[in-house]
Chains A and B, each alone.
Chain A
Amino acid sequence: MSDLADLTLVEAADAIRDRAATASDLLEACLARLDAVNPAINAVIWTEREQAREAAAAADRAVASGAPLGRLHGVPLAHKDMYYQAGRPCTCGSAIRRDFVPDHTATVIERLAAQGATCFGGLNMAEFAQNPTGHNRAFGDCHNPWSLPRITGGSSSGSGAAVAAGITYGSLGSDTGGSIRLPASACGVTGIKGTQTRVSRYGVMPLSFSADNVGPLARTARDCARLLGAIAGHDPRDPTSSEEPVADYEATLDGDLRGQRILVPTNVLVPNADAPVLAAFEAALAVLAARGATIIRRPLPLMDAVSAYVAVLSRVESATIHARWMRERAADYAPHLAARIYTGYAIPGVYYVEALSQRGPILKAFAAEVFAQADVIASPTIPTCLPTLADTDIDHGPPGTEHRFMAVSANTRPFNYLGLPAISQPCGFDPNGLPIGLQLAGRPFAEARLLRIADAYQRDTDWHRRTPTAIQESIRAKEMA
């Protein structure tokens, strides 16, 4: 077997179940990879190695005893550092919460543990989950494993980088405007945001009551199916979580795309993409069409309203959440974040209520028109070739840098306002050698369909199997030393 750290999550779980590898073997492989590459990419904020080793040993004893095993038994994971675990650090990527230790545990962490997963650390992220690039003043910027000067995408920057680098088999991220899909795209991994309300948010740092979502990043669609299946479903401790039944996502992964209708927008998301991104996107559509999907090209309705309203919700809600700290210790935020939160106070309440109250009617009108013609909407996840950290550094760049910064999430934000599920998967590379992502969005609770299409695509392509060049170099350098 090659390096255990390079297995997919499902392969890792199967290896433990089949006794081809132990949970301890897998954990040590992840920690060795972490030691080799994290100094370069800065994806991991903290680790609890001895606690993780004890958990892995316990998992191995359970295998030996013949006890029933969960679908993630013994698989070591690390998550964006905003999921509360009683008694463990949770920095939220911020100086303000550098010493925060929660007294309760997030439902999603408990659900992963119920399936046998273990957790060995907390991953870097945008401060308070509020940038699309991976900049972080408190813990240092996260660097893209494919090219260190480039952005990882954010806000789940460490999740994207760590999964791509083989530090962890999967990771929970969060997505309020694209924060799962952007790092998935930029780092060449797969990430899915479920329907709004699909996954419990109990014990998760809040950013926006209306638009926050929890979801997984991993190397394949099948890996994401397993993780999402473990965490989705109603939680009495999160009364906003949906009581809709959870599908067996893995059971639908059969590679068959016959009858699937894929809409390519002709007015937004696609026409302004950079040429190399567009070329990779069109090539991906051809792969899907070859498997039986029908490609439809039509404009998306109501996108001007979506664009107006999406700019309001999370800004106002974040400003509300951070009000006390903004009054008392604004200097403890990164300048770009303080500036971003500050703008939320300028939005009138009437605008906020309008944006909130139009959300349902807009969704119904949008769905009635779009999903009568198509099953999913396809677009590039990030419409441009991936910029550098320097190009998008608001804190040190010239005025106007904020526009390049916000452009990164232009294609992902609309689906947060609409509450629709969306997935990103790798579909090629730009001329600088950085991954390009294919985004698919579906109607509410269409997670199984999105995973099915993504899995089918990955059966015919190998973009998701490639190893970042910067990682290969780091490993070689470590071995030489």
Chain B
Amino acid sequence: MDFAVLTQTQIETWHAVAPPNNAGKRMAADTASVIAAFEAVRDRLRFEDEPASFETALRETKETGV
């Protein structure tokens, strides 16, 4: 199935949201670029086994003096 049609069908099925306009159809089809960007970094970054949070990372890397 064409990627654009597949995307619209999935959105309709999962979210009950119809394409609002032609720009929406074009931009949804453009999410192929998101897939490409994820593929480019796939398996390079690993998940941490232990619990972590972004807020903790902010504190751990914070400024300590001016």
Contacts and interface: CB of A to CB of B under 8 A. Distances in A.
Interface string B54-66: 1111111111001
Given A338-B21, A419-B54, A346 B61 contact: no
Contacts, number: 140
Contacts of B44: 305
Given A345-B14, A361-B52, A363-B54, A244 B59 contact: yes
B16 to A, nearest CB: 6
A191 interface: no
A101 interface: no
Contacts of B23: 335-336, 339, 394-395, 402
Nearest to B11: A345
A252 B66 contact: yes
Contacts of A244: 59, 62
A359 B54 contact: yes
A354 B45 CA distance: 10
A333 B18 CA distance: 14
A195 interface: yes
Number of chain A interface residues as a range:
35 or more
Contacts of B11: 342, 345-346
Given A335-B20, A347-B34, A402 B57 contact: no
Contacts of A335: 20-21, 23-24
A338 B26 CA distance: 12
A360 B54 contact: yes
Interface string A191-204: 00001110000000
Nearest to A371: B61
Interface in A308-360: 308, 311-312, 319, 323, 326-327, 330-331, 333, 335-336, 338-340, 342-343, 345-347, 351, 354, 356-360
A442 B63 CA distance: 8
Contacts of B15: 319, 323, 327, 345
A32 to B, nearest CB: 40
Contacts of B66: 247, 252, 446, 448-449, 452
A411 interface: no
B29 to A, nearest CB: 9
Interface string A424-447: 000000000000000000111110
Nearest to A353: B47
Interface of A: 195-197, 210, 240, 242, 244, 247, 252, 304-305, 307-308, 311-312, 319, 323, 326-327, 330-331, 333, 335-336, 338-340, 342-343, 345-347, 351, 354, 356-364, 367-368, 371, 394-395, 399, 402, 419, 442-446, 448-449, 452
Interface of B: 7, 10-11, 14-21, 23-24, 26-28, 30-31, 34, 37-38, 40-41, 44-45, 47-48, 52-63, 66
13 contacts: A197-B55, A331-B20, A335-B24, A338-B20, A339-B23, A345-B17, A363-B57, A364-B57, A419-B57, A442-B63, A445-B58, A445-B62, A445-B63
9 closest A-B pairs by CB: A338-B20, A308-B37, A360-B57, A339-B24, A367-B61, A339-B23, A446-B63, A342-B24, A345-B11
